[in-house]
Chains A and B, each alone.
Chain A
């Protein structure tokens, strides 16, 4: 069973819709005992870094997540803010992150003269650096929907599965053992996103 963690930051419903469409068994929960029962976990996220950490902490979910993801090592996918809070810190906030991956979250720094708008909002590609089961069937031509002002910065190179170019290249898909993080929103990325989420679900066997 895949469990989508509901920590009051939006878009869990749209992830559920994708899995329902392709016939996978999923639940949405914020109850620690249900989350401990999951075979794989998805941490969605919209909004700010601090709010996401605050909500996880208010719901007493951090120890539960650590037990499932760090100790039992079940497949885990963080999406957007759910990816960003895997790090130790962000320029966006004052709270520390989960600290599961040693990296920073930085604000896009693009010179004014390029007319580049922040947030990075729209469709873009995953330029695959390392093959992985989670990107099976996904190519550089597949399009994914991004919306963010901050991005992953300087993880261990071995942890970068794909980068995306917006002004410059930033890590958009990362993996450390059983922990995956993706910056874009596969749940709103048509067939390409559905394929990606199916790949993730299939990791759980």
Chain B
């Protein structure tokens, strides 16, 4: 019986994990290795790590060289991780992808890199197989009421229309789309269901919905109504209670089976 994936999306900043609200105000959550051990014990479906320090622009004025991907830390995480493990943040070249996959990372998430090198996704999926390439897209509702794509960690708007961009990424060979609502990030009030559904229905590849989950009901809604193949969340897995105390958790298998009793495709229409 096939089940949709429920994926903790963990944000790395320096050597720690943080959680943001609407892509801002990162709050320290804990140590990544410790988090992986907890998710192992809970038999989580899959983990997604995104390094948010590598996404922001480095620009003329900061005079800083772009930081390098934290391969050593990722290697330690991979060694501890007995579930599929994806990484995104600062990926711009085929060589970086090769090194990440050789560490044991299953999939890489590419966002800004796909813009800087329009052939990156096509080359990477040809070389490593499309199943290892996630195209990550950050979306914000614009003033005119249309969705706008942002790159560079949500700091730069992209002129291309969302659906045109999505079709371009699918055509280039992305194996999966990670669609994140910046407006919903950290709000814990539910996914942007119209956004998730619009994207999921437009492509044949799996779509991971991210941004807004606050309960198992939200997760079920993104699957049944939003047609997403996988449901990612941050706050939902790291916070507990109204005051948002840090406590890592993951739904029990019995809860998941209640959410998705039929499995396979019969339920998703």
Contact = CB atoms under 8 A, between A and B. Distances in A.
Contacts of A114: 265
A123 B264 contact: no
Secondary structure at the A interface, as helix, strand, loop or mixed, is mixed
Chain A contact-residue range equals: 35 or more
A99 interface: no
A57 interface: no
A121 B230 CA distance: 9
Given A167-B265, A188-B106, A47 B1 contact: no
Given A11-B101, A13-B79, 15 more contacts: A10-B128, A13-B78, A48-B129, A115-B269, A117-B206, A119-B206, A121-B229, A122-B4, A123-B45, A124-B2, A147-B84, A165-B264, A167-B265, A188-B106, A191-B43
B76 to A, nearest CB: 11
A13 B104 contact: yes
Nearest to B230: A122
A122 B5 contact: yes
A120 B128 CA distance: 17
A147 B83 CA distance: 12
Interface in A164-199: 165-167, 185, 187-191, 193-194
Nearest to B40: A190
11 contacts: A119-B206, A121-B175, A121-B206, A122-B230, A124-B3, A143-B3, A147-B84, A147-B131, A167-B264, A188-B84, A194-B82
A152 B1 CA distance: 18
Contacts of A123: 2-3, 5, 45
Nearest to A52: B129
Contacts of B229: 117, 121-122
A115 B268 contact: yes
B201 to A, nearest CB: 8
Interface of B: 1-5, 40, 43, 45-46, 78-79, 81-85, 101-104, 106, 127-132, 175-176, 204-207, 227, 229-230, 264-265, 268-269
A191 B82 CA distance: 8
Contacts, number: 113
A14 B230 CA distance: 23
A60 interface: no
Nearest to B176: A121
Nearest to B126: A48
Contacts of A7: none
B109 to A, nearest CB: 14
Given A11-B104, A145-B84, A185-B84, A125 B1 contact: yes
Contact of B82 (A125, A166, A190): A190
A45 B3 CA distance: 23
A46 B104 contact: no
A20 to B, nearest CB: 8
A47 B129 contact: yes
